[in-house]
C-alpha cells in the first residue's frame, strides 16, 4: 500500500541485480499475467522466483487506493492478481471480484504467520475457502521529527489535534488509516462493531485534527518529502516512512508506545474473477511473493513484516528488534487490527471523511 523513496528504489535495484533478476526498467513485462497493485510493488526483489522462472516480471497496472481499485474492477478493468488489504478483502469477495485459492498449489501456505491466519474472515471463510495470500503487514503509527518534537508532547495520539502542531501535521488521504487513528483515540480497538455514537465521536476528533493538517498525503514519497523538507513534524504514517527517511539521515522516529497504541494492517494477493492471463503463472507469482527468501528484504528495505513466518524467523534478530518485530505480542493489546468492517459502516466513513477534508 505504499510507494518507495529514491533511496529505496536504488536499494531494490541493487538487490535485484544480486538476485540475478533484471529491474523492471531493463526487462520486458510478461504479457500473460497482469498484477493490479500499489505503485512500488513492481520491484523485482519482491518476486525474484517469478523472474527467474519466466525471464520477466508480470505486467503491472497501478491504483492509488483500494476504493479506486474496487470501482475500476467493478466497471470492467481486467487483471489476474491484485493486492488489497485486510479491510477490503471481504468487500471485494462479496462483490464477486475474487475467486477462491487452491491452497494445494501454495507450498508455503502452512508457514503463514499464525496471527494473520487467525484474523476473522480474512484469509479463509467459514465454508473453508481461502481468499488471500498475505504478503506485507505493518503499522500505521505516530511518526515524528526528533529535532522539532519533544517526546513528552506525544505520549498520546491526541497530539494530532493539539493546537501546538497547527499546520505541522499530516495524515493519509486514506479513510481506513484516518478512522483507525480516531478509533484508537476514543478507546476503540475493535472497529467492526462501532456504534453510531462512537462514529460521531471519531469523526469529531478527525475534524479537530483537520485544523492542524498541512497535507493529506497520498503516497510515501509525498509524505517523506514533506517531513524531510521540514514542512511536517508529526505524521500518522506507515513503517516505510521512518525506515526510508532514517536511511537518508533525516531525524525521524516512530512512537509505538503512545497511550492508545497503533494500528496494524495486512495486505496480500488475491486471484481476480475474469482474469484473462495464465492461472499457472498467477500461482507462480503468489508463490514467489510468499517465498521466505523475500522476508529479509521487505523487513530491511521497507520496514514491513512478511507473511511467511519461516522467513521472518530467519531475519537477523537485531534487524527485527530495530523494526519492532522481535516481540509482536508486546503491542497487540493496544493495536487496532484493520479487519473488514460492515459495508454500511465503510460507506459512512468514506462519505464523512470527504466532508472532513473539505472542512465541513
Per-residue pLDDT at 28: 60
> For residues 58 and 269, is the Cβ–Cβ distance under 8 A?
no
d(CA 280, CA 285): 9
C-alpha to C-alpha distances, 259 to 49, 154, 202, nearest whole angstrom = 42, 9, 17
Q: Which residues of 104-140 are buried (b: 16+ CB within 10 A; e: fewer)?
A: eebebbebbbebbbebeebbbeeeeebbbbbbbbbbb
Average per-residue pLDDT in the chain? 88
d(CA 54, CA 63): 25
* DSSP classification of residue 118: T
- Rounded to 5°, angle at Cα 334 from 329 and 336: 100
d(CA 74, CA 52): 33
- Cα torsion 178, 181, 183, 188 to 10°: value is 150
Mean pLDDT of 337-356: 90
C-alpha cell belonging to residue 303? 520496514
Per-residue pLDDT at 21: 37
**What is the maximum alpha-carbon separation in the chain?**
55
Q: Is the pLDDT of residue 117 over 90?
A: no
The tens digit of pLDDT for each residue in 257-281 reads 899 988 988 999 999 999 999 999 9
C-alpha cell belonging to residue 214? 498541512
Per-residue pLDDT at 139: 86
Task: Tell whether the torsion through CA atoms of 175, 181, 182 and 186 is positive or negative.
Answer: positive
Per-residue pLDDT at 329: 56
The tens digit of pLDDT for each residue in 146-164 reads 999 999 999 999 999 999 9
The tens digit of pLDDT for each residue in 49-73 reads 999 999 999 999 999 888 899 999 9
The tens digit of pLDDT for each residue in 198-243 reads 999 999 999 999 999 999 998 888 999 999 999 999 999 998 899 8
* CATH superfamily to which 6-137+264-325 belongs: Periplasmic binding protein-like II (3.40.190.10)
The tens digit of pLDDT for each residue in 321-342 reads 877 777 655 555 578 888 878 8
d(CA 112, CA 308): 5
Q: Is the pLDDT of residue 40 over 80?
A: yes
- Cα torsion 70, 74, 76, 77 to 10°: value is 10
Ranges for all domains in the chain classified under CATH 3.40.190.10:
6-137+264-325, 138-263+335-357
- Rounded to 5°, angle at Cα 254 from 170 and 41: 75
Q: Is the pLDDT of residue 13 over 50?
A: no
Taking the domain 138-263+335-357, which CATH number applies?
Answer: 3.40.190.10
Amino acid at each position: 500500500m505504499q510507494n518507495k523513496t529514491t533511496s529505496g528504489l536504488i536499494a531494490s535495484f541493487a538487490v535485484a541485480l544480486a538476485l540475478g533478476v533484471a529491474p523492471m526498467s531493463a526487462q520486458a513485462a510478461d504479457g500473460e499475467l497482469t498484477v493490479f497493485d500499489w505503485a512500488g510493488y513492481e520491484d523485482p526483489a519482491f518476486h525474484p522466483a517469478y523472474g527467474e522462472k519466466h525471464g520477466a516480471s508480470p505486467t503491472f497496472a497501478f491504483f492509488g487506493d483500494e476504493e479506486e481499485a474496487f470501482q475500476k474492477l467493478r466497471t470492467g478493468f481486467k487483471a489476474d492478481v491484485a493486492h488489497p488489504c485486510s479491510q477490503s478483502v471481504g468487500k471485494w469477495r462479496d462483490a464477486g471480484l475474487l475467486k477462491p485459492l487452491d491452497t494445494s498449489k501454495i507450498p508455503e501456505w502452512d508457514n503463514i504467520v499464525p496471527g494473520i491466519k487467525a484474523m476473522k474472515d480474512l484469509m479463509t471463510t467459514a465454508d473453508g475457502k481461502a481468499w488471500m495470500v498475505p504478503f506485507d503487514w505493518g503499522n500505521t503509527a505516530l511518526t515524528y521529527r526528533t529535532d522539532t518534537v519533544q517526546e513528552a508532547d506525544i505520549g498520546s495520539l491526541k497530539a494530532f489535534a493539539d493546537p501546538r502542531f497547527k499546520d505541522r501535521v499530516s495524515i493519509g488521504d486514506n479513510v481506513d488509516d484516518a478512522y483507525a487513528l480516531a478509533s484508537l483515540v476514543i478507546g476503540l480497538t475493535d472497529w467492526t462493531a462501532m456504534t453510531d455514537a462512537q462514529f460521531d465521536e471519531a469523526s469529531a476528533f478527525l475534524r479537530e485534527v483537520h485544523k492542524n493538517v498541512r497535507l493529506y498525503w497520498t503516497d510515501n514519497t509525498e509524505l517523506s518529502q514533506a517531513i524531510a523538507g521540514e514542512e511536517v513534524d508529526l505524521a500518522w504514517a506507515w513503517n516505510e516512512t521512518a525506515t526510508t527517511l532514517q536511511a537518508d539521515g533525516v531525524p525521524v522516529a516512530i512512537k509505538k508506545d503512545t497511550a492508545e497504541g497503533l494500528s496494524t494492517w495486512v495486505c496480500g494477493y488475491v486471484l481476480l474473477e475474469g482474469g484473462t492471463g495464465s492461472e499457472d503463472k498467477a500461482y507462480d507469482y503468489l508463490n514467489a511473493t510468499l517465498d521466505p527468501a523475500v522476508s529479509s528484504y521487505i523487513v530491511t528495505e521497507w520496514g514491513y513484516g512478511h507473511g511467511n513466518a519461516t522467513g521472518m524467523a530467519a531475519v537477523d534478530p537485531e534487524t527485527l528488534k530495530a523494526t519492532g518485530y522481535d516481540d509482536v505480542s508486546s503491542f497487540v493489546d493496544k493495536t487496532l487490527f484493520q479487519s473488514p468492517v460492515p459495508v454500511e459502516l465503510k460507506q459512512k466513513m468514506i462519505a464523512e471523511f470527504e466532508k472532513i477534508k473539505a472542512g465541513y
